[in-house]
Amino acid sequence: MSKKPTIVDLFSGCGGFGLGAELAGFHTVVAVDIDPTLQSAYKKNFPNTRTITQDVSLIRKDDWELALANTEIDGVIGGPPCQGYSRMGLCNPKDPRRTLLKEFFRQVNMIDPKFFVMENVEGLLDKKNRPQLEDAMSIIDEKFEVLPPQIVDASEWGAPTKRKRVIVVGFNPLKISPVDLIDFVPPKITTSVRDAISDFKEPIPQSEDKVDLGWNGYRRLKNISEYAQKMRRLPAPDLGDAFAKKQLLLGKSSGHFDTVHHQAVIERFFNTPQGKTDVKSRAKKLHWEGLCPTLRAGTGSDKGSFSSVRPIHPSKGRVISVREGARLQGFPDWFVFHPTKWHSFRMIGNSVSPIVSEGILGVLYHATLAARIKKSA
């Protein structure tokens, strides 16, 4: 009974979904992603997870048998690339990434877990995309009971960001205690931008050191929000980069490099009212008492290397830093990303909020343990 339930993390990115699984009580055995840059963060933050850098669609059943080495897998989680379904993009029906939705369920059938959770953008439920979702789900093995797709909003789970996503949960009722939609009702905890980032010092100048992650300390405040206190805590011994944990003990976290703006941009950003959008950059200025809008990822080098538009700080004439973005998405301060702001925001914008992941997978963790207890009784 002491052994942790196990997870396979598909389309893992930097590990937002996987982090939530770990915080819920699971251990991620294998994480798969095609992008080595995104996976570089996974390797640092999850030293006890095997990472496989590969196209998921090329993995076959015998590959899983070799990779898992007879390890029983309790759950499979994953967020197939969403750009082909996103309302913010072209939503091109010929985008090859759209086929990876069906690939997720094919992999589930091969791994044969006790449950699975698939995450994607809200646009997946749009009328023009719904047939492809239904087609993908049609291949799910009949042993799984599949709940209707549901929309989850990160802000209702306690994250300080408005981020709506679709999740599909399926489970084998012979292997875990049954769950239903009512089990996934969010706690509706409200966390503001002030709660999330007001304890940070101003960003520091970009270093010439190509591997420097931008370490900086915290402001000295009389009152620190419960959310910020939680984000500052050290992880469990089996999680996190050793150097990052040492830095956190010294009161420092990574991701604090500044973004250089022209003086005219600084003034324009500074004069933009909180909660409003800058007319030229189309960047939204955060409101201290509000929520962060959905953080976007930008594109990788294969898609033009475009950086996403970042929100403007509530009271400064600048865009937010990587660490501020991480806090707003729900990542703890020990979690490290990439030396560049571009790749770091790709990691954050592509990720499932760990807070949402922990909440969803917490339900399935208890369902898994309940079945274990019943079996051993």
Q: What architecture is the 6-189+353-376 domain classified under in CATH?
A: 3-Layer(aba) Sandwich (3.40)
Q: Which residues are catalytic?
A: 82
What confidence tens digit (pLDDT) does each residue in 260-315 have?
999 999 999 999 999 999 999 999 999 999 999 999 886 544 444 456 789 999 99
Q: What is the pLDDT of residue 159?
A: 98
Tokens of 114: 């006790």
Q: What is the dihedral of CA 377, 71, 43, 80, to 10 degrees?
A: -90
Q: What is the pLDDT of residue 1?
A: 39
Three-class SS of the chain: CCCCCEEEEECCCCCHHHHHHHHHCCEEEEEEECCHHHHHHHHHHCCCCEEEECCHHHCCHHHHHHHHCCCCCCEEEECCCCCCCCCCCCCCCCCHHHHHHHHHHHHHHHHCCCEEEEEEEHHHHCCCCHHHHHHHHCCCCCCCEECCCEEEEHHHECCCECCEEEEEEEECCCCCCCCCHHHHCCCCECCCHHHHHCCECCCECCCCCCCCCCCECECCCCCCCHHHHHHHCCCCCCCCCHHHHHHHHCCCECCCECCCCCHHHHHHHHHCCCCCECCCCCCEECCCCCCECCCCCCCCHHHCCCCCCCCECCCCCCECCHHHHHHHHCCCCCCCCCCCHHHHHHHHHHCCCHHHHHHHHHHHHHHHHHHHHHHHC
pTM of the model: 0.93
How far is residue 323's CA from residue 325's CA, in Å, rounded to a whole number? 5
CA atoms within 13 A on the CB side of 68: 24
pLDDT level of residue 93 (50, 70, 90 thresholds): low
Rg (Cα) of the chain, in Å, rounded? 20
What confidence tens digit (pLDDT) does each residue in 330-349 have?
999 999 999 999 999 999 99
Q: What is the pLDDT of residue 98?
A: 64
Residue 89: how many other CB atoms lie within 10 Å:
15
Cβ atoms of 201 and 295 within 8 Å: the answer is no
Q: What is the pLDDT of residue 97?
A: 54
Q: What is the pLDDT of residue 281?
A: 92
Burial class (CB in 10 A: 0-12, 13-18, 19+), 109: middle
